[in-house]
Structures are given as structure tokens and as C-alpha cells.
Amino acid sequence: MLHALGAAGWTAGRKIATGDWAQQLKAAGFELNDAAVGVWAEFGELTIKSCPARVPASSLHIDPVTACIDTAAEASKLRRRYAENYSPLGTWSVQFRSYIAAGGRVVAVGPNVLWPLGSTFAEALAYVVDRDADVSRAEQADWLANCLPGR
């Protein structure tokens, strides 16, 4: 995983300014959590890509504004459903919005589906890079069943 992070431009101790993102997202109606702000500061603006052996290929682009600026209602729905604050994270595999919960859980949202990427950001990175996250099939089925419209 360190190779994928390095290839994306990450270095230990990396920090970027996130004030503009926070300001824009708050103005759009988001309640931000510390887990998200911490991940943005260290990994913001990076696109972390999967190893060549991972099929299908995967990526995680950390840019919460570009990915989610118009999805405050979706984040609010996640909060109501799972009783935890979800803040925007970025884009998973080029097309799916991703969020991080206050407790660290990372999910991706697509049309009528929700994918658990990991119970922590580190697990989500492992899943993105080499599909080695410890997310049980039962947990995934529960998340997917609960995200259907009207539930």
C-alpha cells in the first residue's frame, strides 16, 4: 500500500490547507467531522490507484468539494440511517461519491447502492489498493439492503 501512496504523491507528514473545502461544504449544508478533515489534510488532492493485480481496478480521489458539493441531503440520509455524521471524502473508482463517518468508516454511494469500503480509512485504502479489507459478506449485504430507496 505504501507504494500506491507514494505513487500518488503522498509522503509522511504531508499536510495541505483544507479551509476552503471546509468553508464551501459548510455553506452547502454539511456538518463536518474531524475524521474527514484529518484525512483531507494528509491525503487531499491525491488519487490513490490500485495495484496492477487488483481486478477490477480501483481508485480513490480525495477531493470532497468536487465529488460531493451538491450531496448534503445524501450525507444527511446516511446520518439518519446509521446514527453517525458522514462527511464527504471524494470519489471512489472515478464515479462513486465517498464519505467518511466520524468514527472512521468509509462508504461509497452510487445509484441505489452503498459499498462499505472499510471500517477505518486504513482499511478503505487497503481495499482500494489491493482488495484486502476485512469487510464481511454479511456486513456488506446488510449495508446494501439498508440503502435501497424508501427504507
Q: What is the pLDDT along the chain (151 residues), one digit of tens a residue?
A: 778 888 899 988 899 999 999 999 999 999 999 999 999 999 999 999 988 888 888 999 999 999 989 999 999 999 999 999 999 999 999 899 999 999 999 999 988 889 999 999 999 998 998 875 444 444 444 544 443 333 3
How many distinct structural domains can be found in the chain? 1
- Strands 113-118 and 96-101, bridge-based pairing: unpaired
- Confirm if 127 and 136 have CB atoms less than 8 A apart: no
Its domain, for residue 50, covers 2-146
Q: Is residue 95 part of a domain?
A: yes
| C-alpha–C-alpha distance, residues 127 and 80, integer Å | 26
CA–chain centroid gap for 81, Å, is: 17
Q: Is residue 27 part of a domain?
A: yes
CA–chain centroid gap for 72, Å, is: 15
Q: Is residue 151 part of a domain?
A: no
Placement of cell 464481511 in the chain: 136
